[in-house]
């Protein structure tokens, strides 16, 4: 008999589903603090939570039988995932169960902005009848611009198309076929912002997306444009938003999320051309039922079959399996990170090939390790061996695997080839001494690199003085070069340098490197 503890409020539908399952025993006790949870958690195989329960290291240490923590919803800030992973406890969430609800709120905000509904409501309540003052605009045939084209962004797109809108979207990590299948035009960020009548945000908050909408973006937006954020606070520079609204640079905005929640004292509260809601993205009866039923189903599936749907960390593996493939998986992950850093187009297809002794291990864990490297840092939730394949499928990345025990230049070698648009990038890596990763080839450039720290990769004409000029730029900026490898291509007047530097370079310094005569490209990769 598997025992499940529910420590936060779930819908009756989810609880009823659990009670109907054979071999499952359910206990509900909400409002537990750390000590109370520690006192009882040792008896349970699974813990189902929302956002109130704090799963701390102390709780996890007391959870001697626990195999699963299931979050009914998306956010898992209240769970110590690294500690759970170390203890072999799966953590899973329900990332898509409330997608429709959040998408519909964005559409509702768009409608509200278009017809001035909050202002109209206040006006009538005040005894006024200001029809001419509250002239609105139709949304049909307007341009709906979507920043972030994951599950929620795609639902918003479908709703917008149904409303006869022109829909464009920006997401550098989604393959072109995904946009094409939905009838949505894929554009760059600047074009997205400048063409938008309504700009709605549906991307995760990661380092690359923090303040992704700021003064430069507001400067190129249409004067009548409107901005909607039902994703995450921090995507918009709120100071720049205030200036854009105050000056009339944009016509209006609607926010469901904020830098600080609640946004007490924010100057945005003083403005009339902005609408606020208190983080209601998932707050519908349907969504509450959906996340509860979905986490109940996922928990039962895991406890009965071991399948970890929407898991956020690594499942347990046998010591033998880990030992056999660990170094190859690590090498593939590193190569994946380098591949993602060098790619100029979204990767649509990944080929993973094992040669020589590397072919003695199962290719799938190695392939998944490569996907982890490619996808890491692009999402708000961790990408790992459990969820990497599903995320790759959602992003439109296909996987081709092969292996042969015939060696290729090295006794043991892994080769990754990423295809995107008209471009392909091929990387080869080996394990020196069976455990030291080395990058040995980038496309047709043979080059042996220690893949760690910060790497600067340049492609340039093979002529005297280029390397010294690059070194001078870095030296003048007080950037220390720890290693440098240079490779040339057969029958070509091209060379590639991979430079290990002491600290990451600024965008301006990268541009300065590109300004060195004969340098065509400079790319930075942080491993």
Residue 167 burial class via C-beta count within 10 angstroms: exposed 0-12, middle 13-18, buried 19 and up: buried
- Spatial separation of the C-alpha atoms in residues 261 and 212, rounded to whole Å: 19
pLDDT of residue 86: 79
Name which of 346, 332, 337 is nearest 413 in CA terms: 332
Name which of 80, 89, 90 is nearest 53 in CA terms: 80
HEC letters along 87-153: CCCEEECCCCCCHHHHHHHHHHHHHHHHHCHHHHHHHHHCCCCCCCCCCCCCCCCCEEEEECCCHHH
pLDDT of residue 318: 53
Q: Is 202 known to be catalytic?
A: no
Superfamily covering domain 450-527? ACT domain (3.30.70.260)
Residue 141 burial class via C-beta count within 10 angstroms: exposed 0-12, middle 13-18, buried 19 and up: exposed
- Spatial separation of the C-alpha atoms in residues 335 and 357, rounded to whole Å: 18
Superfamily covering domain 99-276? NAD(P)-binding Rossmann-like Domain (3.40.50.720)
Residue 119 burial class via C-beta count within 10 angstroms: exposed 0-12, middle 13-18, buried 19 and up: middle
The domain defined by 317-443 folds into 60s Ribosomal Protein L30; Chain: A; (3.30.1330)
User: Any idea which residue has 């520079």 for tokens?
Assistant: 237
- The one catalytic residue in 50, 109, 202, 232 is 232
The pLDDT profile of the chain, 527 residues, written as one tens digit per residue, is: 999 999 999 999 999 999 999 999 999 999 999 999 999 999 999 999 998 999 999 999 999 999 999 999 887 889 999 888 878 899 999 988 889 999 999 999 999 999 999 999 999 999 999 998 899 999 999 999 999 999 999 999 999 999 999 999 999 989 999 999 999 999 999 999 999 999 999 998 888 899 999 999 999 999 999 999 999 999 999 999 999 999 999 999 999 999 999 999 999 999 999 999 999 998 899 999 999 999 999 999 999 988 888 888 866 555 566 678 889 999 999 999 999 999 988 999 999 999 999 999 989 999 999 999 999 988 877 788 878 888 899 899 999 999 999 988 899 999 999 999 888 999 999 999 888 999 999 998 999 999 999 999 999 998 899 999 999 999 999 999 999 999 887 666 889 999 999 999 998 999 999 999 889 999 999 99
Q: Is 423 known to be catalytic?
A: no
Domains 99-276 and 317-443 share a fold: no
Q: Tokens in use for 128?
A: 């006024």
Extents of the domains making up the chain: 2-96+286-305, 99-276, 317-443, 450-527
Name which of 163, 117, 115 is nearest 140 in CA terms: 163
- The one catalytic residue in 86, 138, 261, 321 is 261
The domain defined by 2-96+286-305 folds into Rossmann fold (3.40.50)
- Spatial separation of the C-alpha atoms in residues 214 and 465, rounded to whole Å: 40
Strands 454-461 and 519-526: antiparallel
Q: Is 279 known to be catalytic?
A: yes
Is 487:516 a contact under the CB 8 Å cutoff?
Answer: no
* Residue 474: its H or E element: helix 466-476
Question: 77-80, long-range: CB within 8 Å, 24+ apart, which pairs?
Answer: 78/49, 78/51, 78/52, 78/53, 78/54, 79/49, 79/55, 80/55, 80/56
Name which of 145, 143, 142, 124 is nearest 133 in CA terms: 124
- The one catalytic residue in 34, 185, 191, 279 is 279
Phi, psi of 171 (to 5 degrees): -160, 105
Is 414:335 a contact under the CB 8 Å cutoff?
Answer: yes
């Amino acid at each position: 008999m598997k025992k499940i503890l529910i420590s936060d409020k779930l819908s009756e539908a989810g609880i009823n589903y659990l009670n109907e399952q054979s071999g499952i025993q359910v206990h509900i006790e909400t409002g537990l603090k750390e000590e109370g949870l520690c006192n009882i958690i040792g008896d349970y195989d699974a813990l189902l939570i929302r956002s109130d329960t704090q799963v701390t290291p102390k709780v996890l240490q007391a959870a001697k039988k626990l195999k699963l923590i299931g979050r009914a919803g998306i956010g898992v800030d209240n769970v110590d995932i690294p500690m759970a992973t170390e203890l072999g406890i799966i953590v899973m969430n329900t990332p898509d169960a409330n997608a429709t609800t959040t998408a519909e709120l964005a559409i509702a905000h768009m409608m509200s902005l278009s017809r001035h509904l909050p202002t109209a409501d206040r006006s009538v309540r005040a005894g006024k009848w200001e029809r001419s003052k509250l002239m609105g605009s139709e949304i049909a045939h307007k341009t709906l611009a979507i920043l972030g084209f994951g599950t929620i962004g795609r639902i918003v797109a479908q709703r917008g198309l149904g409303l006869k809108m022109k829909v464009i979207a920006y997401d550098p990590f989604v393959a072109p076929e995904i946009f094409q299948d939905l009838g949505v035009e894929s554009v760059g960020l600047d074009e997205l912002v400048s063409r938008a009548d309504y700009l709605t945000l549906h991307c995760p908050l990661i380092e690359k997306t923090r303040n992704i909408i700021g003064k430069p973006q507001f400067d190129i937006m249409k004067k009548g444009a409107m901005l909607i954020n039902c994703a995450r606070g921090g995507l918009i520079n709120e100071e720049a938003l205030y200036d854009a609204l105050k000056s009339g640079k944009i016509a209006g905005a609607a926010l469901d999320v904020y830098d600080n929640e609640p946004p007490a004292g924010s100057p945005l509260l003083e403005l009339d051309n902005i609408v606020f809601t208190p983080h209601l993205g998932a707050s519908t009866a349907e969504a509450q039922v959906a996340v509860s039923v979905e986490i109940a189903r996922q928990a039962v599936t895991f406890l009965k079959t071991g399948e970890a749907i929407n898991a956020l960390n690594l499942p347990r593996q046998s010591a033998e399996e880990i030992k056999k493939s660990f170094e190859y998986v690590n090498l593939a992950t590193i190569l994946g990170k380098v591949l993602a850093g060098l790619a100029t187009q979204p990767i649509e297809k990944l080929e993973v090939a094992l040669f020589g002794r590397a072919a003695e291990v199962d290719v799938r864990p190695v392939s998944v390790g490569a996907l982890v490297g490619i996808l890491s840092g692009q999402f708000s939730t961790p990408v790992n061996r459990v969820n990497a394949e599903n995320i790759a499928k959602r992003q439109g990345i296909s996987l081709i695997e092969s292996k042969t025990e015939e060696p290729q230049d090295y006794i043991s070698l892994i080769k990754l080839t990423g295809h995107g648009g008209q471009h392909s990038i091929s990387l080869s890596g080996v394990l020196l001494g069976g455990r030291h990763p080395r990058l040995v080839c980038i496309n047709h450039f043979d080059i042996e690199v220690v893949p760690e720290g910060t790497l600067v990769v340049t492609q340039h004409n093979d002529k005297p003085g280029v390397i010294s000029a690059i070194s001078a730029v870095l030296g003048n900026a007080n950037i220390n070069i720890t290693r440098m490898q240079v490779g040339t291509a057969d029958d070509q007047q091209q060379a590639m340098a991979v430079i290990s530097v002491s600290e990451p370079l600024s965008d301006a310094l990268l541009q300065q490197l590109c300004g060195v005569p004969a340098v065509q490209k400079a790319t930075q990769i942080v491993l």
